[in-house]
Amino acid sequence: MWVLKFNAKEKWNMYNSRAVKFNVEMQLYSRNYYIENKKVFFINSAIVLGEEENKKKFFDDFKKDKKIEKLEIQGDYFISIYSESYPSRRASLVMTAYNPKLIFIEPSFIDHGGWEHWNIGSFDRKDLEKLLEEVEKLGDLNFELIHFKEKKEIEMKTFSAFPKLTDKQKAVFDLAVSSGYYGYPRKAKLQDLAKKAGISLSTFQFHLAKAEGKLMPFFSKKV
Q: How confident is the model at residue 195 (pLDDT cuts 50, 70, 90)?
A: very high
In the chain, domain spans: 2-150, 167-222
For 66, 112, 180, the CA distances from 186, given in Å and listed in that order, are: 40, 17, 6
If one compares 164 and 28, the residue with the highest pLDDT of the two is 28
CA terminus-to-terminus distance, the chain:
22
Q: What is the pLDDT of residue 2?
A: 96
User: Per-residue pLDDT averaged across 77-95, rounded?
Assistant: 91
Whether the predicted pLDDT of 112 surpasses 50: yes
> pLDDT for 8-67, tens place per residue?
998 778 899 999 999 999 988 878 999 999 999 999 999 898 888 899 999 999 999 999
List CB contacts of 12: < 8 A, sequence separation 6 or more: 90, 140
Q: Taking a C-beta distance cutoff of 8 angstroms, is the pair 60, 93 a contact?
A: no
Contacts of 32 (CB under 8 A, 6+ apart): 42, 43, 98, 100
